Protein backbone atom coordinates (compact mmCIF):
# COMPACT_ATOMS: atom_id res chain seq x y z
CA UNK A 1 0.00 0.00 0.00
CA UNK A 2 1.30 3.45 -0.88
CA UNK A 3 2.00 5.79 2.02
CA UNK A 4 -0.27 8.85 2.02
CA UNK A 5 1.14 12.07 0.59
CA UNK A 6 3.06 14.03 3.13
CA UNK A 7 3.44 11.05 5.49
CA UNK A 8 6.43 9.14 4.13
CA UNK A 9 9.86 10.66 4.70
CA UNK A 10 11.73 8.78 2.03
CA UNK A 11 14.31 11.46 1.30
CA UNK A 12 14.95 12.32 -2.31
CA UNK A 13 16.74 9.70 -4.33
CA UNK A 14 17.31 10.25 -8.05
CA UNK A 15 14.47 12.32 -9.49
CA UNK A 16 13.00 11.68 -12.93
CA UNK A 17 10.58 13.92 -14.79
CA UNK A 18 8.08 12.67 -17.36
CA UNK A 19 4.65 13.53 -18.83
CA UNK A 20 1.73 12.81 -16.53
CA UNK A 21 -0.30 9.68 -17.32
CA UNK A 22 -3.89 8.92 -16.38
CA UNK A 23 -2.70 6.48 -13.74
CA UNK A 24 -0.88 9.34 -11.95
CA UNK A 25 -3.97 11.49 -11.46
CA UNK A 26 -5.07 10.33 -8.00
CA UNK A 27 -1.60 10.70 -6.55
CA UNK A 28 -0.93 14.04 -8.24
CA UNK A 29 -4.29 15.36 -7.04
CA UNK A 30 -3.56 14.30 -3.47
CA UNK A 31 -0.12 15.95 -3.50
CA UNK A 32 -1.61 19.13 -5.00
CA UNK A 33 -4.08 19.42 -2.10
CA UNK A 34 -1.63 18.43 0.65
CA UNK A 35 1.11 20.77 -0.65
CA UNK A 36 -1.08 23.88 -0.73
CA UNK A 37 -2.91 22.91 2.45
CA UNK A 38 0.41 22.42 4.27
CA UNK A 39 1.93 25.66 2.96
CA UNK A 40 -1.15 27.62 4.05
CA UNK A 41 -1.39 25.87 7.42
CA UNK A 42 -4.78 24.24 6.85
CA UNK A 43 -5.76 21.82 9.62
CA UNK A 44 -6.73 19.01 7.19
CA UNK A 45 -4.48 19.72 4.19
CA UNK A 46 -5.76 16.69 2.30
CA UNK A 47 -9.21 18.28 2.01
CA UNK A 48 -7.91 21.62 0.73
CA UNK A 49 -9.73 22.92 -2.38
CA UNK A 50 -12.64 20.69 -1.37
CA UNK A 51 -14.67 19.80 -4.50
CA UNK A 52 -12.63 21.97 -6.88
CA UNK A 53 -10.47 20.11 -9.39
CA UNK A 54 -7.31 21.41 -11.06
CA UNK A 55 -5.22 18.31 -11.69
CA UNK A 56 -7.65 16.12 -13.63
CA UNK A 57 -9.14 18.99 -15.61
CA UNK A 58 -5.76 20.42 -16.65
CA UNK A 59 -4.40 17.03 -17.55
CA UNK A 60 -7.49 16.33 -19.66
CA UNK A 61 -7.23 19.75 -21.32
CA UNK A 62 -3.73 18.98 -22.59
CA UNK A 63 -1.95 15.81 -21.37
CA UNK A 64 1.23 16.85 -23.22
CA UNK A 65 1.50 19.90 -20.98
CA UNK A 66 1.20 18.05 -17.65
CA UNK A 67 4.29 16.64 -15.94
CA UNK A 68 5.21 14.62 -12.87
CA UNK A 69 8.44 14.08 -10.97
CA UNK A 70 9.16 10.64 -9.56
CA UNK A 71 11.51 9.43 -6.87
CA UNK A 72 11.98 5.74 -7.51
CA UNK A 73 8.67 4.81 -9.07
CA UNK A 74 6.61 7.09 -6.83
CA UNK A 75 5.05 10.32 -8.09
CA UNK A 76 6.09 13.13 -5.74
CA UNK A 77 5.29 16.36 -7.64
CA UNK A 78 3.52 17.82 -10.66
CA UNK A 79 3.32 20.91 -12.84
CA UNK A 80 1.18 22.11 -15.78
CA UNK A 81 1.71 24.54 -18.66
CA UNK A 82 -1.06 26.42 -20.48
CA UNK A 83 -0.89 27.74 -24.03
CA UNK A 84 -2.92 30.93 -24.50
CA UNK A 85 -1.52 31.80 -27.91
CA UNK A 86 1.01 34.59 -27.49
CA UNK A 87 0.75 34.08 -23.71
CA UNK A 88 1.87 31.06 -21.73
CA UNK A 89 1.58 30.42 -18.00
CA UNK A 90 2.15 27.51 -15.68
CA UNK A 91 0.92 25.97 -12.45
CA UNK A 92 -0.09 24.60 -10.11
CA UNK A 93 3.43 23.40 -9.25
CA UNK A 94 3.29 21.20 -6.17
CA UNK A 95 5.82 19.00 -4.40
CA UNK A 96 5.11 16.50 -1.61
CA UNK A 97 5.83 18.50 1.57
CA UNK A 98 8.41 16.13 3.10
CA UNK A 99 10.52 16.60 -0.05
CA UNK A 100 10.48 20.40 -0.20
CA UNK A 101 13.77 22.26 -0.64
CA UNK A 102 15.53 19.38 -2.38
CA UNK A 103 15.42 20.76 -5.92
CA UNK A 104 12.33 18.85 -7.11
CA UNK A 105 10.30 22.00 -7.84
CA UNK A 106 13.14 23.27 -10.01
CA UNK A 107 13.23 19.99 -11.92
CA UNK A 108 9.58 20.52 -12.87
CA UNK A 109 10.27 23.99 -14.24
CA UNK A 110 12.30 22.56 -17.13
CA UNK A 111 9.47 20.77 -19.00
CA UNK A 112 7.08 23.74 -18.75
CA UNK A 113 9.79 26.08 -20.05
CA UNK A 114 10.31 23.61 -22.93
CA UNK A 115 6.57 23.81 -23.70
CA UNK A 116 6.78 27.60 -23.92
CA UNK A 117 9.75 27.32 -26.29
CA UNK A 118 7.79 24.93 -28.50
CA UNK A 119 4.63 27.05 -28.42
CA UNK A 120 6.64 30.26 -28.98
CA UNK A 121 4.57 32.24 -26.46
CA UNK A 122 5.72 35.85 -26.34
CA UNK A 123 4.68 36.71 -22.78
CA UNK A 124 5.05 34.19 -19.94
CA UNK A 125 3.67 34.33 -16.44
CA UNK A 126 2.56 32.72 -13.22
CA UNK A 127 0.63 33.51 -10.04
CA UNK A 128 2.38 32.98 -6.73
CA UNK A 129 2.47 33.91 -3.05
CA UNK A 130 3.83 37.44 -2.73
CA UNK A 131 4.89 36.86 0.89
CA UNK A 132 7.15 33.87 0.08
CA UNK A 133 10.80 34.71 -0.74
CA UNK A 134 11.30 31.09 -1.76
CA UNK A 135 8.58 31.19 -4.40
CA UNK A 136 9.71 34.53 -5.84
CA UNK A 137 13.35 33.41 -6.01
CA UNK A 138 12.51 30.01 -7.50
CA UNK A 139 10.73 31.65 -10.43
CA UNK A 140 13.16 34.57 -10.77
CA UNK A 141 15.79 32.03 -11.72
CA UNK A 142 13.74 31.22 -14.80
CA UNK A 143 13.54 34.84 -15.88
CA UNK A 144 10.23 35.83 -14.21
CA UNK A 145 9.90 39.07 -12.29
CA UNK A 146 7.16 40.06 -9.81
CA UNK A 147 4.86 42.88 -10.94
CA UNK A 148 1.39 43.80 -9.65
CA UNK A 149 -0.69 41.98 -7.10
CA UNK A 150 -3.59 39.89 -8.34
CA UNK A 151 -6.79 39.83 -6.31
CA UNK A 152 -8.79 36.61 -6.43
CA UNK A 153 -12.26 37.79 -5.48
CA UNK A 154 -15.66 36.39 -4.69
CA UNK A 155 -19.18 37.73 -4.54
CA UNK A 156 -22.11 36.08 -2.81
CA UNK A 157 -25.12 36.07 -5.09
CA UNK A 158 -28.54 36.64 -3.66
CA UNK A 159 -31.83 36.69 -5.51
CA UNK A 160 -32.53 36.57 -9.21
CA UNK A 161 -30.04 38.02 -11.69
CA UNK A 162 -31.14 40.28 -14.53
CA UNK A 163 -31.08 38.86 -18.05
CA UNK A 164 -28.47 40.34 -20.39
CA UNK A 165 -29.57 40.98 -23.98
CA UNK A 166 -27.19 39.68 -26.62
CA UNK A 167 -25.73 36.94 -24.45
CA UNK A 168 -24.92 33.70 -26.24
CA UNK A 169 -23.44 30.53 -24.80
CA UNK A 170 -20.76 28.61 -26.69
CA UNK A 171 -22.42 25.37 -25.61
CA UNK A 172 -25.62 26.36 -27.46
CA UNK A 173 -23.83 26.62 -30.81
CA UNK A 174 -24.24 23.60 -33.08
CA UNK A 175 -20.95 21.87 -33.89
CA UNK A 176 -20.88 23.51 -37.33
CA UNK A 177 -21.07 27.00 -35.79
CA UNK A 178 -18.34 26.53 -33.20
CA UNK A 179 -15.31 27.30 -35.40
CA UNK A 180 -16.81 30.70 -36.24
CA UNK A 181 -17.58 31.35 -32.57
CA UNK A 182 -13.98 30.51 -31.69
CA UNK A 183 -12.62 32.86 -34.32
CA UNK A 184 -14.80 35.69 -32.93
CA UNK A 185 -13.34 34.93 -29.50
CA UNK A 186 -9.81 34.98 -30.93
CA UNK A 187 -10.48 38.33 -32.56
CA UNK A 188 -11.62 39.78 -29.24
CA UNK A 189 -8.71 38.45 -27.19
CA UNK A 190 -6.32 39.48 -29.96
CA UNK A 191 -7.65 43.04 -29.66
CA UNK A 192 -6.89 42.91 -25.93
CA UNK A 193 -3.35 41.58 -26.49
CA UNK A 194 -1.99 40.58 -29.86
CA UNK A 195 -2.11 36.83 -30.35
CA UNK A 196 -3.85 36.08 -27.04
CA UNK A 197 -6.21 33.12 -27.44
CA UNK A 198 -8.13 31.19 -24.77
CA UNK A 199 -9.52 28.70 -27.25
CA UNK A 200 -7.98 25.90 -25.20
CA UNK A 201 -10.03 26.94 -22.17
CA UNK A 202 -13.27 27.36 -24.14
CA UNK A 203 -12.94 23.93 -25.71
CA UNK A 204 -11.80 22.24 -22.46
CA UNK A 205 -14.74 23.68 -20.50
CA UNK A 206 -17.12 22.41 -23.15
CA UNK A 207 -15.55 19.02 -23.79
CA UNK A 208 -15.20 18.16 -20.10
CA UNK A 209 -18.59 19.62 -19.07
CA UNK A 210 -16.86 22.03 -16.66
CA UNK A 211 -19.06 25.00 -17.49
CA UNK A 212 -19.67 27.21 -20.50
CA UNK A 213 -18.38 30.31 -22.28
CA UNK A 214 -20.42 33.50 -22.45
CA UNK A 215 -20.24 35.42 -25.72
CA UNK A 216 -21.62 38.97 -25.66
CA UNK A 217 -22.81 40.16 -29.03
CA UNK A 218 -21.75 43.67 -30.02
CA UNK A 219 -23.62 46.10 -32.25
CA UNK A 220 -21.74 44.85 -35.34
CA UNK A 221 -20.28 41.48 -36.16
CA UNK A 222 -17.66 41.67 -33.39
CA UNK A 223 -18.09 40.38 -29.87
CA UNK A 224 -18.32 42.88 -27.00
CA UNK A 225 -17.06 40.36 -24.46
CA UNK A 226 -16.44 36.76 -23.53
CA UNK A 227 -16.14 34.85 -20.28
CA UNK A 228 -15.02 31.24 -19.83
CA UNK A 229 -16.86 30.07 -16.72
CA UNK A 230 -16.35 26.95 -14.63
CA UNK A 231 -19.42 25.86 -12.70
CA UNK A 232 -19.70 23.66 -9.65
CA UNK A 233 -18.00 20.59 -8.21
CA UNK A 234 -15.42 18.81 -10.36
CA UNK A 235 -14.41 22.02 -12.14
CA UNK A 236 -11.93 24.65 -10.93
CA UNK A 237 -14.87 26.44 -9.29
CA UNK A 238 -16.05 23.84 -6.76
CA UNK A 239 -19.46 23.27 -5.29
CA UNK A 240 -21.93 26.17 -5.40
CA UNK A 241 -19.40 28.40 -7.20
CA UNK A 242 -19.16 29.89 -10.69
CA UNK A 243 -15.53 30.82 -11.46
CA UNK A 244 -14.65 33.17 -14.29
CA UNK A 245 -11.49 31.49 -15.51
CA UNK A 246 -10.98 34.16 -18.16
CA UNK A 247 -13.11 37.15 -19.11
CA UNK A 248 -12.43 40.16 -21.32
CA UNK A 249 -14.24 42.89 -23.22
CA UNK A 250 -13.42 44.64 -26.45
CA UNK A 251 -11.11 47.60 -25.73
CA UNK A 252 -12.19 51.17 -26.39
CA UNK A 253 -13.98 54.05 -24.70
CA UNK A 254 -17.02 51.88 -23.96
CA UNK A 255 -15.02 49.08 -22.40
CA UNK A 256 -16.12 49.92 -18.82
CA UNK A 257 -19.81 49.58 -19.82
CA UNK A 258 -19.08 46.33 -21.63
CA UNK A 259 -17.27 45.08 -18.55
CA UNK A 260 -20.33 45.76 -16.38
CA UNK A 261 -22.47 43.90 -18.92
CA UNK A 262 -20.07 40.98 -18.92
CA UNK A 263 -20.17 40.77 -15.13
CA UNK A 264 -24.01 40.93 -15.28
CA UNK A 265 -23.92 38.01 -17.72
CA UNK A 266 -21.63 36.02 -15.41
CA UNK A 267 -24.01 36.60 -12.50
CA UNK A 268 -26.88 35.51 -14.71
CA UNK A 269 -25.12 32.29 -15.71
CA UNK A 270 -24.38 31.53 -12.05
CA UNK A 271 -28.03 32.11 -11.17
CA UNK A 272 -29.22 29.89 -14.03
CA UNK A 273 -26.99 27.11 -12.73
CA UNK A 274 -28.25 27.63 -9.18
CA UNK A 275 -24.79 28.66 -7.89
CA UNK A 276 -24.55 30.98 -4.90
CA UNK A 277 -21.08 32.46 -5.39
CA UNK A 278 -19.21 34.11 -8.26
CA UNK A 279 -15.39 33.98 -8.15
CA UNK A 280 -13.26 36.17 -10.40
CA UNK A 281 -9.75 37.54 -10.17
CA UNK A 282 -8.04 40.51 -11.69
CA UNK A 283 -4.56 41.95 -11.71
CA UNK A 284 -4.19 45.29 -9.94
CA UNK A 285 -2.33 46.56 -12.99
CA UNK A 286 -5.88 46.86 -14.38
CA UNK A 287 -7.06 49.43 -11.82
CA UNK A 288 -10.43 50.29 -13.30
CA UNK A 289 -11.40 46.63 -13.76
CA UNK A 290 -10.59 46.08 -10.08
CA UNK A 291 -12.56 49.19 -9.04
CA UNK A 292 -15.62 48.06 -10.98
CA UNK A 293 -15.53 44.66 -9.34
CA UNK A 294 -15.17 46.06 -5.82
CA UNK A 295 -18.03 48.49 -6.49
CA UNK A 296 -20.25 45.55 -7.46
CA UNK A 297 -19.63 43.80 -4.16
CA UNK A 298 -16.66 41.54 -4.95
CA UNK A 299 -14.26 41.04 -2.04
CA UNK A 300 -10.74 39.63 -2.16
CA UNK A 301 -10.33 36.14 -0.68
CA UNK A 302 -6.76 35.52 -1.84
CA UNK A 303 -4.08 37.96 -2.93
CA UNK A 304 -0.95 36.94 -4.78
CA UNK A 305 1.52 38.38 -7.22
CA UNK A 306 1.94 37.64 -10.89
CA UNK A 307 5.46 37.19 -12.18
CA UNK A 308 6.18 37.97 -15.81
CA UNK A 309 8.80 37.12 -18.39
CA UNK A 310 9.76 39.52 -19.84
CA UNK A 311 9.19 42.07 -17.08
CA UNK A 312 6.44 43.84 -19.02
CA UNK A 313 2.73 44.40 -18.34
CA UNK A 314 1.38 42.12 -21.07
CA UNK A 315 -2.38 42.71 -20.84
CA UNK A 316 -2.26 43.98 -17.25
CA UNK A 317 -2.47 47.70 -18.00
CA UNK A 318 -4.99 50.44 -17.15
CA UNK A 319 -7.01 50.07 -20.38
CA UNK A 320 -7.48 46.31 -19.96
CA UNK A 321 -10.81 45.08 -18.64
CA UNK A 322 -9.79 41.49 -18.14
CA UNK A 323 -10.64 38.85 -15.53
CA UNK A 324 -8.08 36.13 -14.89
CA UNK A 325 -5.59 35.19 -12.21
CA UNK A 326 -3.21 32.64 -13.80
CA UNK A 327 -3.72 30.26 -10.86
Ligand X SMILES: CC(C)(COP(=O)(O)OP(=O)(O)OC[C@H]1O[C@@H](n2cnc3c(N)ncnc32)[C@H](O)[C@@H]1OP(=O)(O)O)[C@@H](O)C(=O)NCCC(=O)NCCS
- List residues binding ligand X (CB under 6 A): 35-36, 39, 91-95, 100-106, 128, 133-135, 137-138
Q: Which is nearer to ligand X, 102 or 277 (by Cβ)?
A: 102
Q: Which is nearer to ligand X, 72 or 103 (by Cβ)?
A: 103
Shortest spacing between CB 309 and ligand X, in angstroms: 14
Element (H, E) at 289: helix 287-295
Shortest spacing between CB 279 and ligand X, in angstroms: 18
Q: Judge residue 129's burial from the number of C-beta atoms within 10 Å of its C-beta, 0-12 exposed, 13-18 middle, 19 or more buried.
A: middle
Shortest spacing between CB 35 and ligand X, in angstroms: 4
Q: Which is nearer to ligand X, 138 or 187 (by Cβ)?
A: 138
Q: Which is nearer to ligand X, 15 or 237 (by Cβ)?
A: 15
Q: How many residues does the chain have?
A: 327
Give the whole-angstrom CA distance, residue 40 versus residue 1.
28
Shortest spacing between CB 156 and ligand X, in angstroms: 27
Q: Which is nearer to ligand X, 109 or 243 (by Cβ)?
A: 109
Shortest spacing between CB 40 and ligand X, in angstroms: 8
> What count of other Cβ atoms lies within 10 Å of the Cβ of residue 199?
17
Residue nearest to ligand X (CB): 105
Give the whole-angstrom CA distance, residue 80 versus residue 157.
32
Question: 111 in helix, strand or coil?
Answer: helix
Q: By C-alpha distance, which of 66, 29, 11, 61 is closest to 205?
A: 61
Amino acid sequence: MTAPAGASRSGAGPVTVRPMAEADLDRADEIFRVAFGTFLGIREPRTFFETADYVRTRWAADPRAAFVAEVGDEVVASNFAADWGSVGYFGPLTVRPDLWDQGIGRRLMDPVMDCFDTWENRHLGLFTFSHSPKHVELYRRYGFWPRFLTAVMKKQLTGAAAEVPGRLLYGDFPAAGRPDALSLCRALTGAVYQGLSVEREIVAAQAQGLGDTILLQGPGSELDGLAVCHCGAGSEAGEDVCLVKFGAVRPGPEAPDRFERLLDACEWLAAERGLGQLDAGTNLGRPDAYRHMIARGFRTMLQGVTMHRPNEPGYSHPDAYVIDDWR
